[in-house]
Amino acid sequence: MFLLDTDTIIYSLKGNARVISNLRAYAAAPKAISVITYGELYFGAMKSAQADENLARVRRIGEIFPVIDVTRAVMETFGSIKAKLQQRGKPLDDFDLIIAATALVLNYRLVTNNVDHYVRVPGLDIVNWSV
């Protein structure tokens, strides 16, 4: 099972051949996005020059992939990870931590190009489909 990070979705929309190839290779594997990713995509569409067209794409993505809501378990995991990373002096953006916590709680593999970014999260299974 895969949780697709925002950058992976954007790469696919821009036609990144490796991401598209991996989406095809893992077509039968369950894939989802976080509600955070959905919100980031929606924000990007709203501020774009082709807002209507891009909003339609975002809504279609929300139909293709299940959108995982933030739960109490996700937020508890988020709080635990955030505290540990701050103690180590290696904080991450809250939205990225919520995405990571979602993957951890659901035992999903996070698909992201930001491997160096997410590698700080202990126990997170990460794969990069864009290289």
- Provide the pLDDT for residue 98: 98
The domain locations on the chain are 2-127
Pick one of 3.40.50.1010, 3.40.630.90, 1.20.1050.10, 3.40.50.2300 as the CATH number of 2-127. 3.40.50.1010
> What share of the chain in percent tops pLDDT 90?
96
Structure tokens at 82: 């955030």
CA–CA separation, 84 vs 76, rounded Å?
13
Longest dimension (CA), the chain: 43
pTM for the predicted model, two decimal places: 0.94
Is 100 within 8 Å of 92 (Cβ atoms)? yes
Task: Summarize pLDDT for 66-89 with one digit per residue, the tens.
Answer: 999 999 999 999 999 999 999 999
